[in-house]
Amino acid sequence: MKSVQGAYLKFVLWIQLDLKKDRVMVNRKVFSVVLWCLLLPAILSMVIYGLRKYAIVDQVRYADGIIFLPPFFYALYALWPTLRDLPRVFHKGGIGALLDESAREVEWREKTAQQLQSDLKFTDKEWSLICFHLQQDIERMREQNKYLTVLTGVVLFFMFQFLDLGGNADVIREAGPAGLVKAWVDQFTQWGVQLLSLFLFSSLFYLSGLQFQRYLMRYWVCLKRMTFKDDESA
């Protein structure tokens, strides 16, 4: 009989292989964005610069607009599925669109649960233990994400203080009595920019951690679906 640790390790490896398929699609999208929104505009800008240097396109107006054509066409291509579904969304309303998304999520759960049962031959007890350990790992990741977010915010705060990005006493003394209020406003503005940057970066770090938890939560729901089916059949 397989040990619980070995069964959980096989389950984790299965998740990694399953997520690798989505990662390949994401990498393709990132490559497309870099190609159409960065490389092609850079190449076109160099071509236009060379043509203007040799006085070939001096009389052509709005030649710089050609640089924005690749990102524009790629944005249309990327947004075409959304634009195509806009009439259906307006017809059904926001709740209808959410229900369609829920239906696709249910289809993914059922398909993933069946694939798990066919690829991994575990007993009902092992599936229940895997579900329990995965839930504990998700809770651990949630607490770890909060701790790392706070730690990142503290480190960035002390980095700002070390770099002395805010106003200092020398600036206030140089301003003189007449510009004392203006110096306070400038110092408050700099502090506000620092706090806003700190908040945005910490929020981005926290949301990126939530994304990993969301992936694992989807598989945890599949496990709950499998154990629920087993309970019904019992």
Interval 27-41 mean pLDDT: 80
Using pLDDT thresholds of 50, 70 and 90, give the confidence band for residue 30: confident
Distance CA 167, CA 194 (A): 11
123 Ramachandran zone, left/alpha/beta (phi>0; psi -120 to 50): beta
* pLDDT single digits (tens) 142-185: 999 889 888 888 877 777 666 554 444 444 444 455 556 666 66
The pair of structure tokens assigned to 199 is 């908040």
Q: Is pLDDT above 90 for 136?
A: yes
Please report the pLDDT score of residue 165 as a whole number.
47
For residues 234 and 228, what is the distance between their CA atoms, to the nearest angstrom?
10
Residue 63 confidence (pLDDT): 63
Predicted confidence at residue 164, as pLDDT, reads: 53
Is pTM beyond 0.75 here? no
Least confident of 113-117, 126-130, 136-140, 206-210: 206-210
Query: What are 57-108's pLDDT values in tens digits?
Result: 665 556 666 777 888 888 888 778 777 777 766 666 667 667 777 888 889 8
Q: Give the separation between CA 40 and CA 44, rounded to whole angstroms.
A: 6
pLDDT at 167 (0 to 100): 45
Gyration radius from the chain CA atoms: 27
Query: How does DSSP assign 83-140, residue by residue?
Result: HHHHHHHHHHHHHHHHHHHHHHHHHHHHHHHHHHHHH----HHHHHHHHHHHHHHHHH
The owner of tokens 């497309």 is: 32
Mean pLDDT over all residues of the chain?
76
Coil, strand or helix at 7: helix
58: left (phi over 0), alpha (psi -120 to 50) or beta: alpha
The pLDDT-based confidence of 25 (bands split at 50, 70, 90) is confident
